[in-house]
Amino acid sequence: MASPNLSEIVTTTLRNRSKKLNDNMTRNNVILSKMSEKGRIDPFSGGRTIVQELSYANNTTYRRYSGYEVLNIQPSDVFSAAEYPIRQAAVAISISGLEMLQNTGENAIINLLKSRIENAEATAENGMSYDMFSDGSISGQMLGLQALISTSPTSGTIGGIDRASWTFWQNQKYSAVSDGGAAITSANIQRYMNTLAMRLIRGVDGPDMILADNTAYQTYLESLTAIQRITKAGDATGGFTSLAYNSVGREIPVYLAGGFQGTTTDGNTFSSTGGGAVGGPPSSTMYFMNNRYLSYRPHRERNWVPLDPDRFSVNQDAMVKLIGWAGNMTLSNAFLQGVLTT
């Protein structure tokens, strides 16, 4: 049995690092980083579900009038709410009884914990990255971009709302082959991007970032002349690889959301089949995102923090500490989000 002092050291160390873990996730994940800039990291406090209010119709009381004409003051039902399930995730840090004996003293335990915690933090970051691009089909998985900005926007239920029944809840989709007549190439990708982007503009409202997988990013890069290959101002210091997309009256950063995606022989992957990538968009895919209507909703008291009490195996000489998270990604406007796919 571990001494109370050891348990206290482990818990204190983890609590002191929990803010750093959240900061690292925000800084190293382009989705979370840009959501943070837009104020779209919105913790919730309780309830059986995460309720996201949304606007789905115009207010019907708008009326032109003159003098003493009667105005329309009838109540107008323009708001509804999407309800998202609370999803959970955790990573474990374990210390065997032998390791406890071999690392007697506070400094020794902290040194032992350091490498274990760093590994757990990296695992949590990669797992969240995978889930944020997912379709949410794995048990307990949050809704990722493949679910919220779907390549099949006329089917499925998101936030308790049936997309087949409600057209306002359908995002925009452009298929290179079906809609454009040919697979994505450097000769046609900008035309496809322009077509989709124009569908996503509403006055001054529109997409503020584009996420591309390796193939789509490289194709877009090859479509640009040397003078067009400009990094979006302010992003060079953010550590994210990006290019500027200039069209539809605005400049939108295109981020490489792929990069190294792991291998099928990785010992710890995050798919239901246990193999493949660490996360990122599907092949030849670009997400045109309006972060004004996307939110990351962690629970205030369960945002990658140590869970109490400590776990001790019934038949093993070891202590296990869990770092846990609860929340989901939510959407409040679908028709101003878009996806370009092959």
Tell me the pLDDT tens digit for each residue of 146-162.
Answer: 999 999 999 999 999 99
Residue (of 216, 199, 213, 219) closest to 259 by Cα position: 213
- Whether residue 167 lies inside any domain: the answer is yes
Burial 45-56 (b: 16+ CB within 10 A, else e): eeeeebebebeb
- Reported pTM: 0.84
CATH of residue 165's domain is 3.90.1690
For residue 136, what pLDDT is reported? 94
Which segments within the chain are labelled E, that is strand? 49-55, 79-85, 87-96, 157-158, 161-162, 172-175, 209-212, 242-247, 250-256, 285-289, 294-306, 311-312, 318-331, 338-341
For residue 273, what pLDDT is reported? 45
For residue 1, what pLDDT is reported? 43
For the chain, how many structural domains are there in total?
1
- Whether residue 105 lies inside any domain: the answer is yes
User: Low-confidence residues of the chain, pLDDT below 70?
Assistant: 1-11, 19-21, 24, 27, 55-58, 76-79, 226-239, 259-279, 312-313
- Whether residue 65 lies inside any domain: the answer is no
Range(s) of the domain holding residue 241: 4-58+79-341
- Whether residue 287 lies inside any domain: the answer is yes
For residue 262, what pLDDT is reported? 54
For residue 327, what pLDDT is reported? 97
- Whether residue 290 lies inside any domain: the answer is yes
In tens, the pLDDT along 213-246 reads 999 999 999 999 866 666 655 554 466 888 999 8
Alpha helix positions (H), 168-241? 189-199, 214-223
- Whether residue 67 lies inside any domain: the answer is no
- For residue 25, how far is the Cα from the chain centroid? 11
Quote the CA–CA distance of 164 and 153 in Å, as a whole number. 8
The token duo for 153 is 């926007």
- Whether residue 70 lies inside any domain: the answer is no
Quote the CA–CA distance of 112 and 92 in Å, as a whole number. 15
- Whether residue 72 lies inside any domain: the answer is no
Alpha helix positions (H), the chain? 4-28, 30-37, 97-102, 106-132, 145-148, 189-199, 214-223
For residue 319, what pLDDT is reported? 81
C-alpha neighbours within 13 Å on the C-beta side of residue 157: 8
